[in-house]
Amino acid sequence: MAKSPKKIVFSRSRDIPFDKLVISEANVRQIRPETGLDELTQDIDRREDLIQGLNVRALVDENGEETGFFEVPAGGRRYRAIARLVKAKRFPKDGLVPCVVRKSDTKILKEDDSLAENVQRAGLHPLDQFRAFKSMVDQKMSRAEVASAYFTTERFVEQRLRLTSVSPKLLDVYADGGMTLELLEAFTVNPDHDRQEQVWDAIQHTYRQPWQIRQMLTEAAVPSSDKRAIFVGTQAYEQAGGGVLRDLFSEQVGFWLEDPALLDRLTTEKLKAVADEIAAEGWKWIAVDVNLPYGYSNGLRALARASVDLTEDERAERESLRDEYAKIEAEYEDVEEYPDEIDQRLGEIETALEAFENRPVIFEPLDISLAGVFVGLDRDGELIVDRGYVRPEDEAPVKADAEEPGTDIGDDEGNGDATHAVITIGGDPAQPEDEDDEGEAVKPLPERLVMELTAHRTLALRDALAANPEVAVTALLHKLVRDTFSQVRAEGVVIEANVHRVHFREQGKDLPDAPYAQALTERHENWKADIPSDDDELWGWIEGLDNASRHALLAHCVSFGVNALYERPNQFGASGISQRGLDRRMAEAERLAHVTGLDMVEAGFRPTVENYLGRVTKRHILEAVREGVGDQAAQLIDHLKKPDMAREAERLLADSGWLPEPLRGLAVESDAPEEADVDALPDYLSGGDEPDADASADFENEATPPVAAE
């Protein structure tokens, strides 16, 4: 008959006075045994109990008799923590400690017990920890108490509690190892479980990244970094009933505003309130636009501006602040970093001095009645108020001799002084008139897109030319020689060498913020601040410039004549530009780009959803990714819907150096003679019905027609 297996008998437990316990030399934790001991001591102190007793063995004398003392081979950290509590008089020296007393006849080594206790442990799954936090909070334990108990921050507890709000289906996926903690964190940005599951279903078998999940869950929301959100303010938006999606795991964006329509309304209302205040100053019109277009004041006359003079008291205060600033700088000259209070004071002085420099601008009352104001937002959500521009149709007429000197200038309808400013928002009246039709919808436009892209290239060319005086001189001389020897009729002033500033009828919202647009604007404002307004003074001022400054100013002025815009040609030359003229313009633009070394990638252009990828077909998007990054990258996104594909393509192409075809140039190898045939336009400029052969022949046999905008 087979023997039955020996039954296991566990060692007995008993309470032993602490002063009868000693740490065993067989305890294997020898390196940094004090690590984490503060936290363990505090935890025992908070609980006023041990969760796990000590593993001990009886000490015997040389005769093998028990001495009444016990050594602790397993549980050394708990022993040391209790010793600290004894020293702090939180636990008596002879207080009873729960222990498991090993059998005297055991064959298991003391080192074996010590090692096993430290390594035979399974770490808790993070999801179990998250759920435990939630259970404790649900049972009225505060977040601060949980954080204190587990030696972490309240933010960490908040983050872990947020994770338990993810869809149970996705929590199960995480528990089974189907997604990482980083991916799970991304799903917390939107509490909608159905939407979370839709996003997971869409991406689980593809390229998965946390940023992609956040993007898909917030695609209909507005990031807090948006200038409208900054301008309105989150508090005002939430008080108006707007919902906010918050990301506890991101240090960058942080949150999104769920209701774009509400945000737009609040932005418009706040801008309208600003416009109403400005209207009280007596302006004829106020144009309000969240995104003021680049060159919004082109074609308008800027009023003469004068700053309000400083009073004697203000001058004295300014000098006092300057002296204080200089004194502080001298006192801390040898210090690498200012103390906080000194740094703060210097900032206050700088702000005050800046206010003295940026004095209010005053205008003549009569000028105000003719002029208007632009109101908008810059990229950082700061208010833009640009006063003092007169439209051509509002210019005061020249008075007849018989006209009384005090005759009033009437409004547009001839009804005398205007009683209120006409405020427009985004080009539409703030108080819309009743109209039967809504007007034509904006055309979808490959053609318009090309116009917008070539507006980018035009500005980049201007910036490149303005930075290259030698090329600017060549370009100007080229223009003058062509005009001199082509027998084109000249009329007007002494020297008919004009710089015709081209307005961008079609432009993307991102154009004003492009690096080359910003560089042009900054350069223009710097020159504008130095140039005298009086024509006689201007001549003398130019004479006084050194050659380098003259060349730089010439380059800047000539740059404003650059026109590399695509526009639909008029094949009959009745108005606009002819096909021949457009061909020549594009070829000359390429030549200018070549000699200035313009590279649109280096200039700062990047394809985005707004300026290209969201405006073309999926086939174009995939072709762009294929050209810029490779077939593998294109395959990663070819299954996505167009909005998602465009956003992902923007990320993939960001640093690829890829450019849309209109920005790559025509690769003109050498300067062509003025009347020489130029290369045919690329595919992106081709299209539309070609004129019939007879009409084309007649057109080519004509004398070269005048080309618009040259």
Other Cβ atoms within 10 Å of 7 Cβ, number: 5
* Type of residue at 13: S
pLDDT of residue 314: 86
Together in a domain, 198 and 49: no
454 and 602 belong to one structural domain: yes
Least confident of 259-263, 297-301, 478-482, 537-541: 478-482
**pLDDT digit string (tens) for 24-34?**
999 989 888 88
| pLDDT tens-digit series, residues 498-527 | 667 777 878 888 888 899 999 998 998 888
Fill in the DSSP letter of residue 608: -
pLDDT per residue over 117-142, tens digit each?
888 888 888 888 889 998 899 998 99
pLDDT at 398: 52
| Structure tokens, 105 | 């006849």
With cut-offs at 50, 70 and 90, classify the pLDDT of residue 372: very high
Residues 228 and 305 placed together within one structural domain of the fold: no
Q: Are residues 132 and 280 in the same domain?
A: no
| Coil/strand/helix, residue 280 | coil
Report yes or no on 462 lying in a domain: yes
- Domain identity same for 597 and 453: yes
Give me the percent of the chain exceeding a pLDDT of 90.
31
Q: 282-292: per-residue pLDDT in tens? A: 999 999 999 99
* pLDDT tens per residue, range 302-346: 888 777 788 888 889 989 999 999 998 888 888 778 888 888 998
710 in a domain, yes or no?
no
Q: Is the pLDDT of residue 403 over 60?
A: no
Q: Residues 655, 624: contact at Cβ < 8 Å?
A: no
What per-residue confidence (pLDDT) applies to 685? 38
Determine the Cα–Cα distance for residues 323 and 325; give it in Å rounded to an integer: 5
DSSP per position, 412-431: TTSSSS-SS-EEEETTEESS
44 is a domain residue: yes
Given a cut of 50, whether residue 402 has pLDDT beyond it is: no
Q: Is residue 671, in this structure, part of any structural domain at all? A: no
pLDDT digits (tens, 9 = 90+) for 630-641: 988 888 888 888
DSSP label of 477: H
- β-partners of residue 389 are 302, 372
Amino acid at 589: A
The residue among 571, 606, 641 that closes a domain is 606
For residue 441, the model assigns a pLDDT of 39
Instruction: Establish if 409 belongs to a structural domain.
Output: no
pLDDT tens track for 643-669: 889 999 999 999 899 999 889 864 433
pLDDT confidence of 169, banded at 50, 70, 90?
very high
Q: Please give the tally of structural domains in the chain.
A: 5
Q: Which of 310, 391, 392 is nearest to 353 (CA)?
A: 310
Tell whether 383 and 300 lie within a shared domain: yes
pLDDT tens digits, one per residue of 46-59: 989 998 999 999 99
Among 615, 635, 653, the domain boundary falls at 653
Measured CA to CA in angstroms, residue 689 lies from 443, 531, 569, 573, 692 at distances of 19, 49, 11, 15, 9
Q: Using an 8 Å Cβ cutoff, are 658 and 624 in contact?
A: yes
pLDDT at 167: 94
The CATH number covering residue 156 comes to: 1.10.10.2830
Q: How confident is the model at residue 86 (pLDDT cuts 50, 70, 90)?
A: very high
Evaluated on CA atoms 609, 615, 619, 623, the torsion sign reads negative
Whether residue 415 is contained in a domain is answered as no
pLDDT in tens, 557-588: 888 888 888 887 765 555 677 777 888 888 88
Mean pLDDT is highest, among 266-275, 590-599, 635-644, for 266-275
Please give the structure tokens belonging to residue 502: 């081209």
Q: What torsion, rounded to 10 degrees, do the Cα atoms 131, 137, 141, 146 define?
A: 50
Q: Is the pTM of this model over 0.95?
A: no
Tell me the one-letter amino acid at 5.
P
Say what the pLDDT of residue 480 is.
53
| Residue where a domain stops, chosen among 119, 142, 159 | 119
Q: Are residues 145 and 206 in the same domain?
A: yes
Asked whether residue 593 falls in the same domain as residue 615, the answer is no
Contacts 24+ apart (CB under 8 A), 132-135: 133/157, 133/160, 133/161, 133/164, 134/161, 134/164
CB 391 within 8 A of CB 300: yes
554 has pLDDT over 80: yes
Residue range of the domain that includes 219: 126-253
Q: What's the rounded mean pLDDT across residues 460-468?
A: 84
Residues 418-446 have pLDDT tens digits of: 446 777 776 666 665 444 444 443 333 36
Do 457 and 387 fall within a single domain? no
| Upper half-sphere CA count for residue 143 (Cβ side, 13 Å) | 11
In this structure, are 424 and 295 located in the same domain? yes
Same domain, 602 and 472: yes
Reference 653, options 617, 679, 629; nearest CA is 629
Residues 198 and 285 in one domain: no
Question: Residue 310 falls within a domain, yes or no?
Answer: yes
Within a domain: 187: yes
Cβ neighbours for 521, distance < 8 A, ≥ 6 positions apart? none
17: CATH = 3.90.1530.10
467 CB-near residues (< 8 Å, 6+ apart): 555, 596
Least trusted range by pLDDT, from 1-5, 97-101, 492-496, 697-701: 697-701
Tell which phi-psi region holds residue 32, choosing left (phi > 0), alpha (psi between -120 and 50) or beta.
left
